[in-house]
Structure 1
Amino acid sequence: MRPLRRTTAALAIGAAALVALTACTQKGQSDQGGAAGAAPGDDKITVAFVPKLQGVPYFEAMNAGGQAAAEALGNVEWRYQGPTQADAAAQADIVRSFIQQKVDTLIVAPNDPDSMAPLLQQAKDAGIHVATADTDAPSSVREVFVNQATAQGIGEALTDSLLTAMGGTGKYAIVSCGQTAENLNSWIEVQKAYTAQKYPQAEIVDVVYAGEDQAKATQMATDLMNAHPDLTGLVGECTSSAPGVAQAVQDAGRVGEVFTVGLGTPQSMKPYLDAKSSSAAILWDVENLGYLTAWAGAQIAEGKPFAPTNEVSPDLTAVEYDAGGKTLLLGPPLAITDANVGQFNY
């Protein structure tokens, strides 16, 4: 709980005031320890973001962007907490905690969209604005999805990047992460259809799931190369499997024979891009995604509608909003290679 305002009268009735404040927790305040919203007379909006996994470079970069937005906006308190493993049940516990804290806006990147949907309904019923970011829960009551790029754009960019390195032909496999992650699965569906349509001489031979475990992704990629000796491509579908598959190629001594691309953060991929065990990381500016997430949370808390095109910050001057899908789009995906990887510090 925040310190009470210091007045002579408060010193005389401090104990009674403390009891009264505890019993009358308002929206934007909390009866739990620590700062939990706007102090009496303060008009700060509490925006809480629950990532799939805390402590990995990708979501820490989103957190940095959210913090930057809160500082720039001035009226936002940004909160960030996620599970230490990519576990839907652990993520749900954190969501319940933020509901109890009565934050103004709750934004989630759900590990399991279906199991998260009832919790978002619970938050809405408690008077909390709800949204998703990075990955969606499309059948939920979320008011907006902050999307990093379209599924079509990401899937096509991954496919084009890998098949260019493979010469437009050959067999490749995908090492994904969470088996229920809506965003990853939507990208994979695009890759399957786009490969069949544009690269008829190429074939996806398998899709496997390593969770958010880089070492497991490396082992799975190694197993795939052993099971398919003629394999010439691997895709790491998330920020832990992208370096994982590149590491497997290096360990096998097959750089230049098996090509890899993936959704890796720049600094985690730099050694592999430099070593040519990865051709490219297909991503976006993750800090800008965090900034947009915090800004969107403030907008819906204040009841401000999104325009078809939104000027969010000096770096985000034309963020498009699709009213039909209730989706804010950060922009097109970005190909990170050994030529531009040094421009990113996360």
Structure 2
Amino acid sequence: MRTRRILGVAALTASIALVATGCAGGGSDSGSTSGSGGGGDQTITFIPKQLNNPYTDVVLGGGEEGAKAAGFASSQVVGPLDASASSQVSFINAETQAGTNVIVIAANDPDAVCSSLEEARTGGAKIVAFDSDTNPDCRDVFISQVVAKDVALIQTKLISEQIGGSGEIAILSATANATNQNEWIKFMEEDLKANYPDIKLVATVYGDDDDTKSFQEAQGLLQAHPNLKGIISPTTVGIAATARYLSTSDYKGKVALTGLGLPNEMRPFVKDDTVKAFALWDPAQLGYVAAFAGKALADGTITGEVGDKFDAGDLGEKEVTDGGIVIVGPPTTFTKDNIDDYDF
């Protein structure tokens, strides 16, 4: 069996800091500017939407490896256990006080974190958003998995193929304010209207990237919509929880499920035919590129302007595009035929 390995996949949950205050060792004084240390003593902190999320663990594994390869003196992960809109603010504030040079954040809400991020920038920190963007005014660059529209279109294509091009479907998303999820859903709705007139989107619900709530929301969808033919879940927690429910229910084989998932989590559900096909990109590369972008910003080799280019280690040169966005790579579709080729 050929195994595709990704950058720096590691189980981070045992070592992740749950409290940010006082954890950012090696940072400069809060009034100093990022990059003033000449690269040798720069620090980077990753703040995900929430801790103890399997997808996030893979992203952060890549981030930790990228931080080391880029030459940061130290890196750490801090963040909330819940994905609420304001849960990240106290962690940003603590990093500002600690003088952290680069803050990499996946925003639970694009605006709720802005005031704190602006304070961090005033203190000299460079801000890299990844996975889920902040308001563009609050960061220097955004590292995006793929072109947002491509993520949406691959999911509508997969659900259409699996339900024969017609019928009722629903979306089980993460949080109601997640920037990436909402952008994908917007493009999905537009694509369904334009290209799949016989498919009706009857509901969009939110599992808050919580396994139990996502499982319950999947149950609720099927009870509320007895004619439902398919579910799209553009979140790794949501698709895995929904697959687990479908796999032991009477709906298995009758209700299609697709979305964005981790191959290692979805493998048993693909092997037992609960799920025919789903998609994702290489999550570790997202964190890896974010670390190198942060280093380039801290060193002053880029400012986040369109056309700026920076070295991203093993992943080569990356360029800042319109909106201050850096695209990492295309999505991959996983099926029974290829899922064993991937290990993450």
Residue number in structure 2 paired with 1:173: 170
% identity of equivalent residues: 29
Deviation larger for 147-156 or 66-75 = 66-75
Offset of residue 313 of structure 1: 2.9
Offset of residue 185 of structure 1: 0.5
Residue number in structure 2 paired with 1:107: 104
Asked whether 1:237 is paired with 2:227, we answer no
**What is the letter of the counterpart of residue 90 of structure 2?**
D
Residue number in structure 1 paired with 2:14: none
The TM-score with structure 2 as length reference comes to 0.85
SS at match of 2:312: coil
**What is the letter of the counterpart of residue 320 of structure 2?**
Y
Deviation larger for 329-338 or 109-118 = 329-338
Residue number in structure 2 paired with 1:26: none
Kept in 2: contact 1:53–1:82 (CA 8 A): yes
SS at match of 2:52: coil
Deviation larger for 135-144 or 228-237 = 135-144
Residue number in structure 1 paired with 2:326: 328
2-structure distance, mates of 1:262, 1:76: 38
Kept in 1: contact 2:311–2:317 (CA 8 A): yes
Residue number in structure 2 paired with 1:317: 316
Offset of residue 42 of structure 1: 7.8
Offset of residue 210 of structure 1: 1.3
Residue number in structure 1 paired with 2:22: 32
After TM superposition, the structure 1 = structure 2 runs for residues 210-249 of structure 1, keeping only pairs within 5 Å, are 210-249=207-246
Residue number in structure 2 paired with 1:65: 62
Residue number in structure 1 paired with 2:151: 154
Root mean square deviation, CA, Å: 2.3
2-structure distance, mates of 1:175, 1:257: 17
Q: Any gaps of 5 or more consecutive residues in structure 2?
A: 1-19, 30-36
SS at match of 2:129: strand
Residue number in structure 2 paired with 1:51: 48
Residue number in structure 2 paired with 1:12: none
Kept in 2: contact 1:53–1:85 (CA 8 A): yes
**What is the letter of the counterpart of residue 35 of structure 1?**
G
User: Measured at CA, do residues 41 and 169 of structure 1 come closer, stay the same or move farther in structure 2, by a change above 3 Å?
Assistant: closer
More helix by share: 1
Asked whether 1:187 is paired with 2:184, we answer yes
Kept in 2: contact 1:172–1:204 (CA 8 A): yes
Q: Deviations over 1:109-156 (max 9, x none)?
A: 111111111111111111111121101113432110011112101100
Q: Deviations over 1:66-121 (max 9, x none)?
A: 12112323345222112112123332111111111111111211111111111111
Q: Any gaps of 5 or more consecutive residues in structure 1?
A: 1-29
Question: Larger C-alpha radius of gyration, 1 or 2?
Answer: 1
Offset of residue 308 of structure 1: 5.9
2-structure distance, mates of 1:321, 1:34: 28
**What is the letter of the counterpart of residue 97 of structure 1?**
A
Asked whether 1:338 is paired with 2:340, we answer no
1-structure distance, mates of 2:308, 2:127: 20
Kept in 1: contact 2:261–2:278 (CA 8 A): yes
Q: Deviations over 1:295-346 (max 9, x none)?
A: 11111111112756655233x2353420x31010012222122333233333
Offset of residue 34 of structure 1: 7.0
2-structure distance, mates of 1:309, 1:341: 34
Kept in 1: contact 2:296–2:310 (CA 8 A): no
Offset of residue 33 of structure 1: 5.8
**What is the letter of the counterpart of residue 288 of structure 1?**
Q
Residue number in structure 2 paired with 1:17: none
2-structure distance, mates of 1:247, 1:91: 30
Offset of residue 247 of structure 1: 1.9
User: Measured at CA, do residues 227 and 80 of structure 1 come closer, stay the same or move farther in structure 2, by a change above 3 Å?
Assistant: same
2-structure distance, mates of 1:31, 1:160: 45
SS at match of 2:57: helix
Asked whether 1:145 is paired with 2:135, we answer no
**What is the letter of the counterpart of residue 32 of structure 1?**
G
The TM-score with structure 1 as length reference comes to 0.85
Q: 1:262 aligns with which of 259, 262, 271?
A: 259
SS at match of 1:79: strand
Residue number in structure 1 paired with 2:276: 279
1-structure distance, mates of 2:144, 2:56: 14
Alignment coverage as a number of residue pairs = 315
2-structure distance, mates of 1:218, 1:141: 34
More contact order relative to length (CA 8 Å, sep ≥ 6): 2
